[in-house]
Chain A
Amino acid sequence: VRASKVFLLLAILLFGGLLESAWRVREQLDVGPAGCRVLGGKFYGPSFSFESEAQLTAGASPEVVVENAFGSVTIGAGGDGRVHARLRSVVFLPTEEAARAFASRVRLLTSREGERISVGTNRSELRSSDVGLETHLVIEVPAAAAVKVENEHGGLNVGGVATARLNNAFGDVSLARVAGAAEVVARHGEVTVEGVGGELTLAHRYGDARVEDVAGAARLEAQHGELRVQRVGGVRGRLQHANLKVEAVRGDLEVTGEHAAVEARDIAGAARVQTSYRRIAVAGVSGEARLTTSHGPLSAQDVGGPLLAESSYEDVSVAGIAGPVQIKVEHGGVSARGLERGGRIACSGDDVEVDGFGGVLEIEAQRGDVRVTPRTALGSGLSVRAANGAVELEVPAGSRFELEASASDGEVHVALDDVKATTTGRGLFKGRVGAGGAAVKLAAEHGDVTLRRPENRSAERE
């Protein structure tokens, strides 16, 4: 066989292939559901709609089970003791005659077995067909109905029912006005839940969710999305690569997360949050707060109970803590204001600043300075140890305490007028400030210890 023949054969086949490709691009290039341009598919081109309906008498407390795919499901109250279902079939075929012939094979299936009423279509029998078929269901049910829906590749809109269990994929879910409990499982779509009279369980992947006005607690599981939650009875959540913003919780907030940020405001109960790689920010917690994050910043404001805050590789900032604090930071700093009942701060890698505290406070810092500024006369116990850092304490007028200050490889500066020294030496000062009282121990390794009046701060720094 001559090479010219082989070449010609290949050239003709390539020519044919190019023509086929060009034809497909011209005829079937279209905008897909997510706005992307796609080739092929059954759901493009001319389409025609056909409707059918069915009605069933419901029992006193009916359970309505709906199964659908490739179409939306809308369920609302108003059935007047009956379940009224309407099906709109959308058939993707070039002519109305062909579409009508195909639609004649699509049936709305309804059945009743005791209190259970099933609504669906026979689209599974038509699955082998290469015709695009959407089945949209609109169902009216009695307000006392417990609704269960399984749907995919379509939206879900449910409102005004007794209870709801929804499972949806590849479409948005909207649930409103549920008298009792609700359960939503959703993938690849937005979720909106408004007004649930009982508890809410939401498991959600790949999409954002908004939850509002839930009387009971909300149990949330989220992956890869943003959650906004408002006015709920409580929150228990598990997050993976998702962020939670929650406001106005009437009970406790309990969240564990991975690569998840948690922002919470107005928590009537306790807040317990554990996450990683993203931030925790809580404000207005009535009870205790236990906050732990690694590789993420942490802030807590206006906490009514004790605070446990642990973080690494980022800073911790707390303000207005009514209970005792326990703060632990590795490779980050601490900024604390208004610690009403003192506590313990352990920090490594950066500075510690405390502005205003009451009760007994203990601070231990490594590789960072410590600055303590009491807002009122100091009369309670204070212990500060800094390794490879300096210690500064501002002493307001009227303070009274027993002072023990030591600095190894550093100096002790005591710029107070009402102090009586009992022991002094190289890097050591013991004495009584005012009339004496609780013990204040300040120790620095490889750093200075300085005590001064607040009014001398700016002058000395200049």
Chain B
Amino acid sequence: MIVPIEWLKEYVDIKKSPEEIAESFTSLGLLLDKPIQNNILDLEHRMDRSDWLSILGCARDLAAFENLPLKYPELYTEKGKEGGGVRIEVECPDLVHRFNTRVFKGIKVGPSPEWLKTRLEEYGISSKNNIVDITNYVMVELGQPMHAQDISKMEKPEIVIRRAQTGEKVTTLLGETIELDSDTFVLTQNNKPTVIGGIVGGIDTAVDENTTEIVLDAGNYDQTSVRQSSRRLKIQNETVLRYDKFLHPKLTEIAIQRATKLILELAGGEYYENEDWYPQETPIKQQELHFERVKTISGMDIATERVKEILTALEYKILEENEEKLKLQVPYFRTDVEVEDDLVADVLRINDYKNIPVTLIPAAPPKEITPEIYKFEEKIRDYLVTLGIHEHITDPLVSRNEKLLEQVILENSLNSEKDALRTTLYETLLPVTEIYKKHGIEEVGVFELGRVYRNKEPRELRYTEVIRVGKEGYLETSKKVREILAGLLLNLGIANVTYKKEDEIVKIYQKDLFLGEVKLDSFTLFTETLLKTERGILRVREGFAAESYEDISLTIEETIYIGEIIDFINNFHEKISNAQVIDEFQTANIKSVTVRITFLETNKTQIKEIKEKLITELQNKFGVSLRH
């Protein structure tokens, strides 16, 4: 909201410097947005306070904050002559709450006086003529958009408000032709649209220097409709800015009285009553305030007299009061007030937030509810980082792929490259390694702890993805990948993991629990499933175990997976603590592998016995032969 200080001073006699005034505004809720220039303040407006889109509304709060009286602008409250003669009809009462009109005859349209021009220009609206300027002035002063049409330019003296027909057009005052749709409403005469409701006036009935008779309107419309129409039509202006907020229909009365005062003063003529279409009155709210509630929210003992003083300055009317509470009539323009705490907010901000003391929470901390997965992911992160692998966060939005039946599709993305959610982390993380490569870093490990998404429950799954690329060839790279995987699992305490090739995918299992997948350059772990594993590896032992190892070399047919053999050995005997491939190579269609088996035993005879039994079983089950 632009607030020229000279204009502001019309309502509040403040002696402070512009900087000090800006500081007060900032404290009470109107943040100074841009540096002060030429005694004009640019204050940030939030969505709630429609009255802060008026100079008077800003002045009211400032006056309360500074403990100064508020001077109201002069209104013309007398009745006009009968016989305005412009017929008003509203065909879309769902979009129009009030349509308040007056007719002026015998007016003289001409340039505005300097003071009016200057004020509008300081605000940022250029001067047109005295009538248009007055409607703009009252809009900025009181927050109610208004519109004047030349009656002589109408084929019929009427304003009929209806939904536009698709394809109907209005040429605006700026000369732009706008094509309408049926979600927009228009003011029409003789079935021709003259004004886009709540948005912008048309050129056909515009007031100019020859105008002598006008119909002035102050309407109150459905804010959602105005907002959506203006966005659709891509029109943003001072009128829309106010109409897309919640304005109270009562404001039209004050605004039209104020405009009447100015028109009679600056353009002469006479004013005639015309219809004030207002079929259902919007009630004025009442709200109770318990003094105790102020204390509950603020922890402060603010004197009841002070509370009353603040609320009265903000134009709340005390209807009833006792020791415990006030019953108040909420000012009509305070459409933002919903609950008692909003009144507490008024008290605290006018009393200045600076004056709220600072106190630490005295209560003991409640029981911890941090989920296990949070701590678990932190552990994974730490371990991968110690291995020299870098963490990245990538964009979960990807482009749509018709082949992925479970992909989540976005309905309204602005970008066709980003109209779906990823189903793997691999797809968004792999490009990161390509960026490294482009910059000459060909050997790198990256990881991401993130979510993938599906269009059915559970809609989100947490994955741990590690990609390790290098230039040493897939055989070596894939070993490095599996080393990282084994190290991660060991550090997470996850033992007895097996690798099985199923449907061309190497899957990681602990018993029947499917933990993830291994690829040549990467692995994926389902983080939530990892949490369900048996995690019992104790990596600390007292002293050194009585262990010994034996190497066996086997030749295996190509079709047999070594992972299965290792798994078999690991589960073969309680005295076997670990089986590890220490060498592998392939010739023709035969795989050769050397396995180092660790025994929790040092007695040679016993080891020999277990080993022989094992070899026999391996021969029977997998058809391996012993290589010497």
Q: Are A and B interaction partners?
A: no
Chain A interface (Cβ < 8 Å from any Cβ of B): none
Write the residues of chain B forming the contact surface with A, with a CB cutoff of 8 angstroms.
none
